Structure 1
């Protein structure tokens, strides 16, 4: 692609989106620029505190458990209380709990506060996704989600490199920096982002038409959630298994920071052009290929013996991430009814939160008992299974749903066998 073509593609990608989206995008970018805890928790516990990989896995799993609990709760809050109040509560709670985590000393206290951090930080995700679906036109949503994902990884690329060197001086400084940046996000949302939740009678639907029961009974959507969990289980190893394995092999936090920063840099460089390239491609093929590529990308880590080779393996599974993320997000949005966007996004977010719970336990146990090589082989197997699952699911999953389908009653969302939508008090 020429420079002129790249400039034209970038201009077309960023134009035409509402101002509210860009303030929300800015909040996302600031949040990720200050990210620290999720990336370096395992190194903090094993290298700075001297705990075993198993204990580190347990604490990070509790962080994930907090996310599991708050995923559905955050989705329900986004639908019932509103997107903006949910974001403000979640971001304020995250800032406070992250700051406390930097000071606690007792193992039980570290585990408890890590749970609170996971719960507070994950509660904002369904609200952000639902708000973007609310304020962006249907034809612009794929690129809006892609731009948001781009901001996440731009911040991640910067924070990974910076936090690696900060960790060598003071882990506490990293915790306090993340707390301060998260508070800035809350200020941006409070001052610049209005409420976007659809009104009580938007498109003729009452607010409580869609309950959690409807989401669970939506078989097509739940199939997507299950496969998303498998893919997330693999991708989580970039933040869980990889730092522990590199630390055990004698690499420093800065080494890991440089290797994993490749992930963010590649996404920043390639997300926009790749999204334009895959936008009208066959989603089934994209999901099958990206799942397998993720699994085998991590599988190649078994052969890495230097920072450069580790970085090359990161390149492989990052390409899978670039393809997988916007494709899956587009499917979730098309399958979500208007007044159930928060709950649907909460259930989808929960698949990643459950993976955050399972992945640390899995990686810690496998590394301690069998060695890192077996962990990378397991990733290859899981990626292959997920790819096969997408190949089967997408035969019956409608790829191009009409926008009106997102505004239909929960009867459509739960399938043709449901005669009456459930009214939920959740």
Structure 2
């Protein structure tokens, strides 16, 4: 492709999205540039503080548990308080708790603040996803979610490299740096992003639309099916960071070998997310989700036959392609099944599926490898991927095209009305 062709492709990929989306995208990128705690927490506790690996694992689990707790809470806040207040509260609280964590020394204090960091940092995710659905037209949402996912991975790739250099100088500087960048996100939200929560209207009979509650989400069978399938896919994808390094270590490979292999994941996402999204944007989501589940399951399943770095890297290529396809497509499905005035709660339930998987995946990997061997773990991934693919196929049969955002006659690209101040 010529330079002019590349420029045209990039222009088509980013054109037509509202200005508010790009400020939200910028906030996401800045936030991920400061991902120090998620990257180096275990090394900080074991090397800098001298704690055991078991204690480091406990702290990581508490951090994840905080995310599970706040997933639903953040979703409820996004619906009741609004997207913008939720983001401001979550990001400011995250900045303060991350800075505080850098000064903690007692093991109980570290564990408690780590739980707080996990809770505050995860609370913003339902609000970000709900706001993105509010401000982007339905036909552009897959592309918007893909661009946001691209920003997450680009920011994390840069932060991982920078955090390594910062850690050699001072771990405290890393904590304070993440706090400063998270606070910058709050400033961006405060200065540039208006509230996007749609105004609650009335139905055809003139009655106020019923409020969406958590019980409403739980009773939505098709949507809870998506949540369960998201949990299964998350269990598979997370083996790249919990099962793969352990299996490679048992096979005689060094940490640097694992670093080279897993770097393929980030490089491919940054390089391919936008062009692949342009290819899949208007294709059948049922077929895309079935394909991504099979690629994820059998991509990890092929790891059982890996004996060299090249083969390990090849398996990473397979499941990374699944990740690139699955993330924006599934997010589009989540928004499609969510009622306009309940997006926060629906997004919170979806976020919780990933948070719970983050707790279960390490236990699954450790137990399976210790009791049966790594080959059984990779075989289990293939089986889970197959079950998820069948689930997506069954779940999406007969799923009709969504109505307009208002549920009536309003055009799809109409701007959401601001929420009333007393809502």
When normalised by structure 1's length, the TM-score is 0.85
- Deviation, 1:303, is 4.8
1:178 and 2:178 equivalent? yes
1:359 maps to which residue? 361
> Cα RMSD over matched residues?
2.8
Q: Distance in 1 between matches of 2:207 and 2:121?
A: 31
1:251 maps to which residue? 254
Checking the alignment, whether the CA contact within 8 Å between 1:156 and 1:261 is kept in structure 2 is no
Q: Which runs of 5+ in 2 are unaligned?
A: 409-423
Structure 2 vs 1, CA of residues 295 and 36 (structure 1 numbering), >3 Å: closer, same or farther?
Answer: farther
Q: Distance in 2 between matches of 1:161 and 1:258?
A: 13
Structure 2 vs 1, CA of residues 235 and 108 (structure 1 numbering), >3 Å: closer, same or farther?
Answer: farther
Q: Distance in 2 between matches of 1:168 and 1:307?
A: 27
Checking the alignment, whether the CA contact within 8 Å between 1:64 and 1:356 is kept in structure 2 is yes
1:419 maps to which residue? none
Checking the alignment, whether the CA contact within 8 Å between 1:334 and 1:403 is kept in structure 2 is no
- Deviation, 1:155, is 0.9
Structure 2 vs 1, CA of residues 201 and 391 (structure 1 numbering), >3 Å: closer, same or farther?
Answer: closer
Q: Distance in 2 between matches of 1:303 and 1:162?
A: 34
Structure 2 vs 1, CA of residues 377 and 60 (structure 1 numbering), >3 Å: closer, same or farther?
Answer: farther
Structure 2 vs 1, CA of residues 200 and 386 (structure 1 numbering), >3 Å: closer, same or farther?
Answer: closer
2:378 maps to which residue? 376
Structure 2 vs 1, CA of residues 368 and 179 (structure 1 numbering), >3 Å: closer, same or farther?
Answer: farther
1:402 maps to which residue? 403
Checking the alignment, whether the CA contact within 8 Å between 1:161 and 1:257 is kept in structure 2 is no
Structure 2 vs 1, CA of residues 86 and 302 (structure 1 numbering), >3 Å: closer, same or farther?
Answer: same
When normalised by structure 2's length, the TM-score is 0.86
Checking the alignment, whether the CA contact within 8 Å between 1:287 and 1:387 is kept in structure 2 is yes
Which range moved further: 326-335 or 97-106?
Answer: 97-106
Q: Distance in 1 between matches of 2:81 and 2:184?
A: 22
1:140 and 2:143 equivalent? no
1:342 maps to which residue? 344
Which range moved further: 357-366 or 167-176?
Answer: 167-176
Q: Which runs of 5+ in 1 are unaligned?
A: 409-426
The alignment of Structure 1 onto Structure 2 pairs a total of residues equal to 405
1:211 maps to which residue? 213
Q: Distance in 1 between matches of 2:407 and 2:39?
A: 38
Checking the alignment, whether the CA contact within 8 Å between 1:57 and 1:363 is kept in structure 2 is no
- Deviation, 1:144, is 1.4
- Deviation, 1:335, is 0.9
Checking the alignment, whether the CA contact within 8 Å between 1:54 and 1:361 is kept in structure 2 is no
Report the secondary structure of 2:35's partner residue.
Answer: coil
Checking the alignment, whether the CA contact within 8 Å between 1:160 and 1:261 is kept in structure 2 is no
Structure 2 vs 1, CA of residues 280 and 370 (structure 1 numbering), >3 Å: closer, same or farther?
Answer: same
Q: Deviations over 1:100-126 (max 9, x none)?
A: 333434443333222212111111011
Structure 2 vs 1, CA of residues 261 and 207 (structure 1 numbering), >3 Å: closer, same or farther?
Answer: farther
